[in-house]
Amino acid sequence: MDQMSSLRALLLALLQICVFRVEFTVAQKDPEFIIQPIVKIQEDSQPNSLVLEFRVKTVDPDPQIEIFNINPPTTVFALPTIHQGTGNTHNVTLRLSSNASLDFETLRLYRLELRVSANNSTATQTLEVEVLDVNEPPQCDAVFQFPGAVVKIPNDLTVPIELYHVVASDPDINNNLNYRIHQVWPASARPQFMIDDTGTIYSNQGFGYQSSDKDFIVNVTVSDEQGASCRGKVRIEILPVLDHTLNFTVPSQSVTISEDIQVGSVVAIVKALGSDLRYEFVGNYPAYRISQDGIIRTTCELDLETNGDQQRSILMIRAFSTTHRSGTATVNVTVLDVNDNPPTCTPSVIVLCIPETISIYSELATLSCSDADITNNSVSYQLEPNAVSQFKFRLQGSQLQASPMLASLELPLVNNTLDYDNAEIAHNNFQYKATIFVIDGGLPPLTTVVQVLVTVTPVNEFIPGFQQPVQFLVNEDAGRGTVIGMVRATDRDWEHDSIRYSITGADQGFSINPKTGELYLRRELDFETQPTHQFVVQAVDLNQDINPSVRKQTTQEVTINVQNVNDNPPECNPFYETEIYSTLSLTEEILSLTCWDIDGDRLTATLTNGGKNDRFRLNELQLFSKNAFSYNPEGIFDPIFFELRIEVTDGKFSTTVLVIIHVKPWTTTVPTTTTPTTTRKPRVQTVISSYWEPEPWFVAVMTVTIALALIALGLLIWKILQCTSACGKPTQEMSQPLLQNTYMNFAEEAKPQNPRDTPQTFDGKAQDPVTGRNYLFNSITGERRWT
């Protein structure tokens, strides 16, 4: 029994270990990212700069990580590197590539799809890299910076004289430039020059070719609002005005060109009458140049959105000859706007984190969009959700008309419940994505795309609920550690049914698995003492809210009904002694046994002491006479004293009752009552029959063991038969003496060794102890015949 108990304990321990391993494997996610999904980096970050450090949790000692998708495609990110951390964590480093260059004005968001492979499984993670704006210095025209621009001005122009327009731009959006003259040579001419907010240099005095300086150098500083700057200089040469005016074939002409005209394209051609002529602009027109033969061309790309003054320009052209003759003409240039600027929006990407309980139609963000084109600058909006965010958002109005250059729209609005508690949104990392298309009114229309990324955070909304009612039935002979059943509570919050169970109140001998809700028995039960047990199980949800301390709980009363098992023997009054008359009727009860069973089982009684069964009978627990008693002095004379042993059983256990009956011979046939009397001290004899009922697992083990033993025995017999057949049969001479000796032994054993050993024979004669008369007794029928 000790070995069987040890074997049983070992098997139970192995089973518990296997269950734990399975539960642990199911509960653990491997591999798993530990990462911040959104990271920000400045646009002036140097190559090989650190982007993000994060961790990967896995038991695999050699996980592999990669970037399997980048949107939009780019090479600015290097391959991530991974190395062992503490425990089951691995540290991952993501850096910029060696040739990386970030530009906030060009691209503000990268979306990386990371994938880690470990333990024959993979896990993916989306990482949003947002580029932050950094102030960049203005950019001045290269010639203006070095060696410097050269302007030639005739000495007869009237004041104020427009001398030069400084060409500069700022890479940063919506950053105003400031122009300042910081030095003039000669210094005495400093009060003569000024510069306006557009970068145009003027002279407030006229130039005298004969009486004043003929060369000037003006140094200009261009700075932005943050103080970053670039510098350049303009050299001004004064030209003498010659006599004898030259005449142009077309003194004044008007031309119209498109904004998207190629650099160097012909704008107009001027022609003066004469020979050996040269042409030059009287004023400063940075967007145009004129050749010595009178052809006017563009010098740069025209952009009316940057410089609205380019929409209409009046070019003054001077023609002069080597004979000191000159003349002027004008060209009116009109530039037509082209839809070459898509709308710009702030913010360019909408990234939000909101709780799942946000109310419908709540405003999430404000999007402001503008079109830099000076014409056709109205914008309209169109929302396009993906399959997951369908019907989750809406724009207030499908198309908006806005005032020139600016449109403002409050968007998007929550159009439906943002549910966190379903597998579909969990598969998408609890993110809703949509796209807003901002379309301008030009032909063809240009579109700007604004990505919307809304991450929903969990809110513990629902209280766990038990399945009603909770009742279990268990046998009262169940051992400690027996699994009674399982309680189950459900929670509609994600992850569903993340619940911990506990038993509240006083200890009643039951325990519960906090994860699975399995109930275990910790002490022995007794139906007769307490047939029903009641206690309260509490269920608390876990990790159902962004704040882990926010939990909801519920309780459920559990009823354990104990199933009665026959584990108590019947109890009886152990001894009865009574006196009856020999004339008692066969149908009249001699006595009734007083017996009971705590388990409530049905009791049966049986006479156990041999021949007394022929004289008495039992009807359930009532004792009756089976045959009439005979006390005829001339005939059969029955005994007057009977000692009966009666076994009372409930089917499993039994108790023996001793009954003493005194028969009083009586010649009358009148029935009399019995008078029980107790003449000696009662003797209590209780027999408890117990048996061992093996458990199913032991039956299985013993069946397999017996089968193996029978197979081994069969193999052994087969081997012995083989050996006997090989050795041969014994000869007749060897076996004959053995048979003779055997017969002699049998004959000797058959002979009587002593006359006393001869069996005695009973002749059937007996003497009555009361009358002294002899009679013949028939042991088969029990009859007496007097002699």
- DSSP string over 486-515: E--EE--SSSTT-EEEEEESS--SEEE-TT
Helix (H, G, I), strand (E, B) or coil at 351: strand
* pLDDT at position 620: 85
Q: Worst-scoring range by mean pLDDT, 210-219, 688-697, 708-717?
A: 688-697
Confidence of residue 415 (pLDDT cuts 50, 70, 90): very low
Q: What is the Rg, in whole angstroms, of the alpha carbon atoms belonging to the chain? A: 59
What the block records as the tokens of 364 is 């999430």
User: Which residues is 318 bridged to in the sheet?
Assistant: 280, 328
Chain centre to alpha carbon of residue 85: 24
Residue whose C-alpha is closest to residue 532's, from 553, 516, 552, 510: 510
The secondary structure element, H or E, covering residue 22 is helix 2-27
CA–CA separation, 557 vs 443, rounded Å?
A: 73
Q: Determine how β-strand 344-346 pairs with β-strand 363-370.
A: antiparallel
Mark 347-377 as b/e (b = at least 16 C-beta within 10 Å).
ebebbeeeebebeeeeebbebebbbbbeebb
Nearest to 778 by CA among 760, 759, 762, 761: 762
pLDDT at 137 over 70: yes
pLDDT higher than 90, residue 140: yes
Nearest to 51 by CA among 92, 93, 81, 91: 93
Q: What are phi and psi of 553, to 5 degrees?
A: -140, 160
Question: pLDDT tens, 433-461?
Answer: 888 888 888 778 888 888 888 888 888 88
Q: Which residues contact 626 (CB under 8 A, 6 or more apart)?
A: 586, 613, 614, 615, 616, 617
- The pTM assigned to this predicted structure is 0.40
Chain position carrying tokens 């005449």: 247
Pick the range with the lowest mean pLDDT from 24-28, 242-246, 594-598: 24-28
> Within 10 A of 600 (CB to CB), how many other CB atoms are there?
12
Beta bridge partners of 252: 330
pLDDT over 50 (residue 648): yes
434: amino acid identity, one letter = A
Q: In the structure, what pLDDT confidence band is assigned to residue 307 with cuts at 50, 70 and 90?
A: confident
Encode pLDDT of 121-136 as tens digits: 999 999 999 999 888 8
> Which residue would you say has higher pLDDT here, 162 or 786?
162
pLDDT for the residue 767 = 62
Between β-strands 553-563 and 471-475, what pairing exists: parallel, antiparallel or unpaired? parallel
Beta-sheet pairing, 326-336 with 252-258: parallel
| 486-543 pLDDT, tens digit each | 998 888 877 777 889 999 887 778 999 998 889 999 888 888 888 898 899 999 988 7
Q: Which of the 8 DSSP states describes residue 758?
A: S
Give the integer Cα–Cα distance in Å for 337 and 16: 80
Amino acid at 65: I
- Return the SS3 of 163: strand
CB-count burial class (<10 Å; 0-12, 13-18, 19+) for 228 = middle
pLDDT on residue 407:
33
Q: How far is CA 435 from the centre of its chain?
A: 27
Task: Report the chain's mean pLDDT, rounded to a whole number.
Answer: 79
